[in-house]
Structure 1
Amino acid sequence: METPIVQAGADVGMRRMSAVLPVYAGTIFLSAFLLFGIQPMFAKMVLPKLGGSPAVWSTAMVFFQAILLAGYAYAHWLVGRFSVRRAALIHIALMIVVVATSLPIGIAAGFERPPQQGEFAWLLLLFAVSVGLPFFAVSANGPLLQAWFARTGHAHARDPYFLYAASNIGSFLALLAYPFVVEPTLRLATQASAWAWGFGLLLAGITACAGLCVGRPAGRLDTMPLVAEPIPASRKLHWLVLAFVPSGLLVAVTAHISTDVASGPLLWVAPLALFLLTFVIVFQRRPLLRHGWMLNTQLLLILGYMVVMVFNPPLGWGGELVLHLAILFVTAMVAHGELARLRPSAAALTGFYLWMSLGGVLGGVFAALLAPLLFNSVAEYPILIVAGMLCRPSFTSLRPSRLQGAVLAGLAIVGAGALVSHEASRTDMVRSFFGVHRISETPDGRFRILSHGSTVHGAQRLRQDDGTLVSGRPEPLTYYFTGGGIADAIHSVRQARGGTLGAVAAIGVGTGSLSCQARSGEDWRFYEIDPAVIRIATDPARFGFLNACAPSTDFVIGDARLTLGDARDGSLDLIVVDAFSSDAIPVHLLTGEALALYMRKLKPDGAVLLHISNRNMELGSVVRATAAAQGLTSWINEPVRSAADVQAMRLAPKVAIVLRPGVDPGPIIAGSWQEQAGPGPTRPWSDDYADVIGAIWRQLSPK
């Protein structure tokens, strides 16, 4: 018969063991949630520092992937060199240092303004100093806690990889929560404070996890470092490739659907959510989707992709979107399923995650950084689809001879060189860091069009309706045609100031159509973030607006939120902000801080003209609320498009004018536009707060 002391000890052991799984799963979930929460939060903090440039997001991705790799290497080092007790002390000490030195998250001192050159290095240093240590500490927790769980004596300790599913569920929910819940409801300062409290809770959870492992009554597992099984180099390379392909495909699919299928805000959410979901599924103890099903489905989807590429059936943008997202999901399921199938024992867990992370980093670097330099189109997408087929076990099990391997490698090199050469010679597409610009002609040959994604940025008439070539000064078309809202607003402001304007700042170049609204004696200067757009607009073989209407125009390259800040205060008569397409809009150009900047640069009777046409977002109420919060007056037109105008490439734009109270907006605006009385129901936007989801919802809601 057991003594009371023995029975009490057994009860304590049972309670401890019953707590192991929920404590570890909850802590890993929280760690992943914080890991994905800090990325958009801090990138949003940095956007105004670099004018909201897309380079901020790309640099953030490179930085966070690199630090994630460093965190996995740190976890691998802790597990391989120290007992759980000592590793826990080191890691908990690191987290205490983070609490003492780096929280709450914010822009580090000394980074008030970026340099004129070397912005990329400056931005990396800013990320490293401001959030490098917190992100590093959190990034190590996934593999580290799984390795500790393997030593708890729990019934599932032999195969702790199912906890990776809990980690990716946390990442998945954080991904969805930020744009849909966190950003629309919380200011950045509140987000940073909440993240700090979450980090404190994470510290308590990690301490509890270490205690549950170290406190187990039997064995010496908690006093010795974990000795990993020897892994051959070929297997590590296999892990790397299986992680490389879906990581690169994630970036390529996102670029492809936003370039060739549909343009829309937050379009990156769906591919990334599906990517994370594959990890959740394949690392479950009993996956919901069998690996064999995914292998068969991949063949069907590739066949469907080939049919679409060859025969171009009328799927519509919705059908194409589903096809490409399905290709990403199933290809990632195949590659990640192979990773799950080929995972080592728990003793080599941290090394496995380290090689996975390295493959993910290399895949992202290839698709996000190298591909835009090598290809004018999104050519990396079909390349990675083919690479996804090579991830199948039927291919990876092949063992070619040295001669066969050399021949295959030679063919791959020749093919890659031919593809790069072909892409470099293309003239219908121009790819830059900011996206793919397509130059095309309508089927009837009447118009040449510049588009970015599925958004038209300008058009020029080449032939009359009878087929004869157009000669003379080009006619401004699309949103800039004479009689449209933009042209009328400029004319009205000009009339209110005696018939002429002095200095004008125009943000966004497009095809240069807007330059044909300038008049003799006016000083127009264009601000453009993408040098490739300037090269396209000034190339007379492509578009002739600037050469015909304003051949001596000055261009300022860079994001206007920064470059416009260098203009002399009180020097401008008019600022035209023409940067809001149907893609992810530059929010920083529509905030209260942006309006305050515009007003500083304008003369007392100056005006801001905002082109706010957008298929996906309703921005008029944002202008109204933000202007009212700054004590300004706003006027907005409601465009009416006829079928005849659309056929003639005259696209009536929605335009807002913002002025100081009492300033005359001019005769046309006062007669046909609506003055916005009061702030309205929408909350004003600022660098600290912007509700993009609300703008989308208002656009979708019945009028």
Structure 2
Amino acid sequence: MEAPVVQAGVDVGTRRMSAMLPVYIGTIFLSAFLLFGIQPMFAKMVLPKLGGSPAVWSTAMVFFQAILLAGYAYAHWLVRRFSVRRAALIHIALMIVVVATSLPIGIAAGFERPPQQGEFAWLLLLFAASVGLPFFAVSANGPLLQAWFARTGHAHARDPYFLYAASNIGSFLALLAYPFAVEPALRLATQASAWAWGFGLLLAGITACAGLCVGSAAGTSDTAPLMAEPIPAGRKLHWLFLAFVPSGLLVAVTAHISTDVAAGPLLWVAPLALFLLTFVIVFQRKPLLRHGWMLNVQLLLVLCYMASMVFNLRLGWGSELVLHLSILSVTAMVAHGELARLRPSAAELTSFYLWMSFGGVLGGVFAALLAPLLFNSVAEYPLLVVAGMLCRPGFTSVRPSRRQGAALACLAVVAMTALIVRETTRTDMVRSFFGVHRISEMQAGRFRVLSHGSTIHGAQRLRQDDGTPVSGRPEPLTYYFTGGGIADGIDSVRQARGGTLGAVAAIGVGTGSLACQARTGEDWRFYEIDPAVIGIATDPARFSFFSACAPKPTFVIGDARLTLGDASNGSLDLIVVDAFSSDAIPVHLLTSEALALYMRKLKPDGAVLLHISNRNMELQSVVRATAAGQGLTTWINTPVRTEADLQALKTAPSVAVVTRPGVDPGPVVKGWKQQVGPGTTRPWSDDYADIVGAIWRQLSPK
């Protein structure tokens, strides 16, 4: 009678082992999917609070990296201090607390409006209060489940690092799915609800993994610690550095890209997805891309980058995007490939991930928090590109003497100090939470321009063509010149109201060119989220539009969606929306909710003028559909650009004027094309904005 019992026990054990790998892979995959699905989802919830700034995502990445570090430390503590059974009880209890207190995800109470200063600290507190606990609980699962798997007695338990590739596949797919499937199809409230259901499924998976480990032959003695190998401090610091460089480069590249297109999930997740894909590749048992290939490609890309910097090459937006993403991907492949090569045994798995995460946090903190304080330009980007070269095995194998090491360290400190002094004292650039603003001169000093990213946001003529200085009232240039769509739209609305406007809200300051559109007796109020821009525009030594045209301007600092809410309903004749960050669009100022706000603040016969020029996205159909969805009427101009105007820094803008039905937009706007019906584009809202579609329409042949 004994044989059948033994056979039954063997069958159970065999079935348990056969189920082990799929359950662990599935749970780790789901955990990573949720971990990286929450990041773009919640960052999008926060965007309207801070003007759609790319810095929101940079700060978000620093926060998530810090909580990931805390989660890894928590997993390390559970593995080192408790048996699988007790660690599972603690972790499952934590996840139950999350279900009871923190789901579904939403913005915590008390964070309705950001401060005028200290945006980083406010954002970090907002993220901590809103998603800190759920993200912490999910972040621990990767190393924790891999450590449990190492104790199961499975055939692959001795080297569980292949599960890290499964984890990063889940992360990669979550980031890929968000802009192309989740964001276009689901409202934010639905996304948060779906995430909560996924968290419940993850809780069941964690319970199953713990049960399989405890019930396995190896799991019966799971109180015995794994045999740890001694890890020298130098090796741990090497892990930290190899994680530091690509993490900092990720933040720098993401900020650069999202500054020139749009602060939104698509432009955020593309670099992060590529970053995670490098982990998938290098931690495979047989990587698809050889490490030696990446070392050679890195040299080629760095040479291309140096050439573009030295010779100031204009590669075009698409080519620059490919170059920067390639630099990030290949540098990450080199650094992460070295991490994979230097990984320890399973006994030190959680310690390895802890040091990796610590390096990632330091890289993010440097690029997102310290660099804006230390540098007026984006100096961290080339620094990190150079640091990427130091991740190569040829550099790390060099062992200088103690004296040589001290000399190199002193040289590095002196060089960095000199760079910081130079950066903080330069006057041609001003850096703030919202980006880098460059003041420069063009055409042999005839024009002074203000640029953000690769886009000019205003210009003033300093000298005539014959070289003589310009005197008198400054002439608005770029998009604001007389005869351009913005000036014509304002003047048309003014004429429709008897030749003068009462109260006007101008959203976006730039160089202050709009100040010269104001007329005597009109009450113009300027809304600006970045105090640094106000400082530039009101400095007569830089630009004199305000000092000459509106010497006593009224400024309202903060995001216009929030600060405009303080204006009295029905008090404004005109709202001019001209808030851009480089060529990135303020998505939250073009949504249905934004238009509804504008209409509440306008008088019954008031109008809103939207500046919608953009190199990368087609926005006319967006405004048309969104306005039609609100029952409003839209007129859009057809800009005509001549070579003579462009040489004089006059760029005809694309402009839309939106009014209530039946309202007279004025004689000039009547000549523009009135939009009939919503068209084929779906209206944008705070829950939905199809950035991919807008880019595709711009690229498509007209």
Does the 8 Å contact 2:250/2:328 carry over to 1?
yes
Deviations 1:374-393 (CA, angstroms, capped at 9, x unpaired): 11221112222222222222
Aligned residue identity for 1:614:
N
Structure 2 CA distance, aligned partners of 1:478 and 1:226? Answer: 67
Cross-structure match for 1:250:
250
Aligned residue identity for 2:699:
L
Cross-structure match for 1:591:
591
Mean alpha-carbon deviation: is it higher for 499-508 or for 687-696?
687-696
Structure 1 CA distance, aligned partners of 2:435 and 2:100? Answer: 41
Structure 1 CA distance, aligned partners of 2:315 and 2:666? Answer: 47
Cross-structure match for 1:101:
101
Cross-structure match for 2:182:
182
Residue 239 of structure 2 aligns to a residue whose secondary structure is helix
Does the 8 Å contact 1:24/1:209 carry over to 2?
yes
Structure 2 CA distance, aligned partners of 1:51 and 1:340? Answer: 40
Q: Alpha carbons of 1:571 and 1:403: their partners in 2 closer, same or farther (altered >3 Å)?
A: same
Aligned residue identity for 2:637:
N
Cross-structure match for 2:418:
418
Cross-structure match for 2:613:
613
Structure 2 CA distance, aligned partners of 1:649 and 1:443? Answer: 10
Does the 8 Å contact 2:36/2:171 carry over to 1?
yes
Deviation at 1:135, TM superposition (A): 0.8
Structure 2 CA distance, aligned partners of 1:518 and 1:312? Answer: 38
Does the 8 Å contact 1:45/1:188 carry over to 2?
yes
Cross-structure match for 1:213:
213
Does the 8 Å contact 1:184/1:694 carry over to 2?
no
Asked if residue 664 in structure 1 is aligned to residue 664 in structure 2, the reply is: yes
Q: Alpha carbons of 1:192 and 1:119: their partners in 2 closer, same or farther (altered >3 Å)?
A: same
Does the 8 Å contact 1:45/1:107 carry over to 2?
yes
Aligned residue identity for 2:652:
A
Structure 1 CA distance, aligned partners of 2:121 and 2:375? Answer: 25
Deviations 1:327-365 (CA, angstroms, capped at 9, x unpaired): 322221221111111111111111111111111001011
Residue 603 of structure 2 aligns to a residue whose secondary structure is strand
Task: Give aligned-pair identity as a percent.
Answer: 86
* Segments ≥4 residues shifted beyond 6 Å: none
Does the 8 Å contact 2:151/2:219 carry over to 1?
no
Does the 8 Å contact 1:84/1:225 carry over to 2?
no
Runs of at least 5 residues in structure 2 that lack an aligned partner in the other structure: none
Cross-structure match for 1:526:
526
Q: Alpha carbons of 1:580 and 1:399: their partners in 2 closer, same or farther (altered >3 Å)?
A: closer
Does the 8 Å contact 2:486/2:611 carry over to 1?
yes
Q: Alpha carbons of 1:688 and 1:20: their partners in 2 closer, same or farther (altered >3 Å)?
A: same
Aligned residue identity for 2:535:
R
Q: Alpha carbons of 1:528 and 1:661: their partners in 2 closer, same or farther (altered >3 Å)?
A: same
Structure 2 CA distance, aligned partners of 1:662 and 1:654? Answer: 23
Cross-structure match for 1:689:
688
Deviation at 1:35, TM superposition (A): 0.6
Does the 8 Å contact 1:580/1:613 carry over to 2?
no
Deviations 1:42-86 (CA, angstroms, capped at 9, x unpaired): 122233344545554343223222211111111111111111111
State how 1:409-558 maps to structure 2 within 5 Å. Answer: 409-558=409-558
Does the 8 Å contact 1:256/1:381 carry over to 2?
no
Cross-structure match for 1:165:
165
Aligned residue identity for 1:696:
I
Cross-structure match for 1:83:
83
Cross-structure match for 2:131:
131
TM-score (structure 1 length as normaliser): 0.94
Aligned residue identity for 1:204:
A
Cross-structure match for 1:600:
600
Structure 2 CA distance, aligned partners of 1:320 and 1:120? Answer: 28
Deviation at 1:524, TM superposition (A): 1.1
Asked if residue 199 in structure 1 is aligned to residue 199 in structure 2, the reply is: yes
Does the 8 Å contact 1:297/1:330 carry over to 2?
yes
Residue 161 of structure 2 aligns to a residue whose secondary structure is helix
Deviations 1:16-63 (CA, angstroms, capped at 9, x unpaired): 222222221121111111111111111222333445455543432232
Structure 2 CA distance, aligned partners of 1:306 and 1:696? Answer: 29
Q: Alpha carbons of 1:419 and 1:118: their partners in 2 closer, same or farther (altered >3 Å)?
A: closer
State how 1:52-67 maps to structure 2 within 5 Å. Answer: 52-67=52-67
Structure 1 CA distance, aligned partners of 2:593 and 2:312? Answer: 46
Structure 1 CA distance, aligned partners of 2:582 and 2:382? Answer: 26
Q: Alpha carbons of 1:31 and 1:316: their partners in 2 closer, same or farther (altered >3 Å)?
A: same
Q: Alpha carbons of 1:292 and 1:118: their partners in 2 closer, same or farther (altered >3 Å)?
A: closer
Deviation at 1:121, TM superposition (A): 4.3
Residue 501 of structure 2 aligns to a residue whose secondary structure is coil
Q: Alpha carbons of 1:655 and 1:173: their partners in 2 closer, same or farther (altered >3 Å)?
A: same
Structure 2 CA distance, aligned partners of 1:142 and 1:292? Answer: 28
Aligned residue identity for 1:462:
L
Mean alpha-carbon deviation: is it higher for 116-125 or for 237-246?
116-125
Asked if residue 275 in structure 1 is aligned to residue 275 in structure 2, the reply is: yes
Mean alpha-carbon deviation: is it higher for 201-210 or for 498-507?
201-210
Does the 8 Å contact 2:457/2:511 carry over to 1?
yes
Deviation at 1:143, TM superposition (A): 0.5
Aligned residue identity for 2:656:
A
Structure 1 CA distance, aligned partners of 2:50 and 2:346? Answer: 44
Structure 1 CA distance, aligned partners of 2:121 and 2:251? Answer: 23
Cross-structure match for 2:700:
701
Deviation at 1:109, TM superposition (A): 3.9
Asked if residue 145 in structure 1 is aligned to residue 158 in structure 2, the reply is: no
Mean alpha-carbon deviation: is it higher for 227-236 or for 610-619?
227-236
Aligned residue identity for 1:78:
L
Residue 10 of structure 2 aligns to a residue whose secondary structure is helix
Structure 1 CA distance, aligned partners of 2:313 and 2:590? Answer: 40
Aligned residue identity for 1:676:
Q
Asked if residue 288 in structure 1 is aligned to residue 293 in structure 2, the reply is: no
Residue 59 of structure 2 aligns to a residue whose secondary structure is helix
Mean alpha-carbon deviation: is it higher for 480-489 or for 427-436?
427-436
Cross-structure match for 2:367:
367
Structure 1 CA distance, aligned partners of 2:218 and 2:177? Answer: 42
Does the 8 Å contact 1:264/1:582 carry over to 2?
no
Does the 8 Å contact 2:116/2:558 carry over to 1?
no
TM-score (structure 2 length as normaliser): 0.94
Structure 1 CA distance, aligned partners of 2:262 and 2:596? Answer: 28
Cross-structure match for 2:672:
673
Structure 1 CA distance, aligned partners of 2:410 and 2:489? Answer: 61
Cross-structure match for 2:637:
637
Asked if residue 326 in structure 1 is aligned to residue 326 in structure 2, the reply is: yes
Aligned residue identity for 1:333:
M
Aligned residue identity for 2:62:
V
Deviation at 1:138, TM superposition (A): 0.6
Q: Alpha carbons of 1:255 and 1:131: their partners in 2 closer, same or farther (altered >3 Å)?
A: closer
Structure 2 CA distance, aligned partners of 1:540 and 1:477? Answer: 17
Does the 8 Å contact 1:240/1:355 carry over to 2?
yes
Structure 1 CA distance, aligned partners of 2:474 and 2:490? Answer: 19
Q: Alpha carbons of 1:102 and 1:424: their partners in 2 closer, same or farther (altered >3 Å)?
A: closer
Does the 8 Å contact 2:612/2:656 carry over to 1?
yes
Deviation at 1:216, TM superposition (A): 0.9
Deviation at 1:645, TM superposition (A): 2.1
RMSD over aligned Cα atoms: 2.3
Mean alpha-carbon deviation: is it higher for 231-240 or for 28-37?
231-240
Structure 2 CA distance, aligned partners of 1:120 and 1:380? Answer: 18
Structure 1 CA distance, aligned partners of 2:592 and 2:257? Answer: 32
Q: Alpha carbons of 1:681 and 1:314: their partners in 2 closer, same or farther (altered >3 Å)?
A: closer
Q: Alpha carbons of 1:526 and 1:258: their partners in 2 closer, same or farther (altered >3 Å)?
A: same
Aligned residue identity for 1:99:
V
Aligned residue identity for 2:458:
G
Mean alpha-carbon deviation: is it higher for 343-352 or for 290-299?
290-299
Asked if residue 34 in structure 1 is aligned to residue 34 in structure 2, the reply is: yes
Structure 1 CA distance, aligned partners of 2:288 and 2:352? Answer: 23
Does the 8 Å contact 2:571/2:602 carry over to 1?
yes
Q: Alpha carbons of 1:590 and 1:15: their partners in 2 closer, same or farther (altered >3 Å)?
A: same
